[in-house]
Chains A and B, each alone.
Chain A
C-alpha cells in the first residue's frame, strides 16, 4: 500500500463547475500538507500549504485537511480552462525537507 493515494483521473468538468480533488494517506505522523499544480511539460508549482487539520482558502482555491480520517481535499471554485493541469498532493513530517507525493490527478476544464 502506498503511503499517499491519489486518484489519477483523468477528470473532466465544464467551465464554472466546482472541482474536488482528494488524497488519502496512511502515515498519521504527517503534519504538513501541500497541493502542487503541474502544467504539461513544466515543473510542479506550490498552490496551497496547510498545517495540521482545518481549512485554508486562497482565492478560488480551498484546501481541507481531516487528520482523523487521513484525508485531504482541494476545492476549486468557478473553474477556468487555465486550471487544466495535473494536481499533486504532498505531505511531510517536518516541513519541506522530505515530501511524499501522490501520483497526481489530471484535470481538464472544458470551455
Chain B
C-alpha cells in the first residue's frame, strides 16, 4: 500500500530534550516536506526537500533541522524543543515538484512540549 508513515504519532516531552520525528514514504517520491498545523494558523511549511541531500527552508524553519540521506526518509529534528513547538506535525511527499503533482500527507504527529 502506498503511504507516508510518521513515528511517533503522539509524543510528550520536556523543554530542551532533543527529539526526532521520523517520516518515511514507499512511493519513490523525490519531493518531501514537513508542515505544522496550529489552530487559527493553518498548515505552515517548515522544511522541504527536492531530492536526496537537497533541503530548503519553508515559512517557519526556526528551531528545526532536517536531513535527507535516503530518498524514502525525511526526519524532522528538534534539537532543543520549546513549548511554542507544541503542535500537530505532518510529513508529505510527492513524485516530484511540478504542476498537477499531488502531495500525499502522513497521519500526523501530535507533539506536546512541557
* Residue contact B42 to A97, C-beta cutoff 8 Å: no
* Residue contact B90 to A88, C-beta cutoff 8 Å: no
Chain A: interface residue total (CB-CB under 8 A): 24
Q: How far is the CA of A101 from the CA of B43 in the complex (A)?
A: 6
Q: Which of A11-19, A40-48, A62-70, A71-79 binds B? A: A40-48
Which residues of B does A touch, CB under 8 Å? 4, 31, 40-45, 48, 58, 90, 92, 94, 97-108
Q: How far is the CA of A49 from the CA of B48 in the complex (A)?
A: 21
* Residue contact B40 to A44, C-beta cutoff 8 Å: no
Q: How far is the CA of A62 from the CA of B96 in the complex (A)?
A: 26
With A95-B100, A97-B98 given, name 19 new contacts (CB 8 A): A32-B99, A43-B90, A43-B107, A46-B102, A51-B99, A94-B97, A94-B99, A95-B101, A96-B97, A96-B98, A96-B101, A96-B103, A98-B45, A98-B48, A99-B43, A99-B103, A101-B42, A103-B41, A103-B42
* Residue contact A43 to B106, C-beta cutoff 8 Å: yes
Closest chain A residue to B9, Cβ basis: A41
> Given contacts A44-B105, A96-B94, is CB(A104)–CB(B42) below 8 Å?
yes
Q: How far is the CA of A72 from the CA of B38 in the complex (A)?
A: 23
Q: How far is the CA of A99 from the CA of B45 in the complex (A)?
A: 8
Contacts of A46 in B (CB 8 A): 102-103
Q: How far is the CA of A49 from the CA of B100 in the complex (A)?
A: 7
> Given contacts A95-B101, A96-B103, is CB(A44)–CB(B43) below 8 Å?
yes
Q: How far is the CA of A102 from the CA of B92 in the complex (A)?
A: 17
Q: How far is the CA of A95 from the CA of B101 in the complex (A)?
A: 7
Closest chain A residue to B39, Cβ basis: A103
> Given contacts A88-B43, A102-B42, is CB(A41)–CB(B99) below 8 Å?
no
A8 is an interface residue with CB less than 8 A from chain B = yes
Interface set, chain A 1-21, CB cutoff 8 A to B: 4, 6, 8
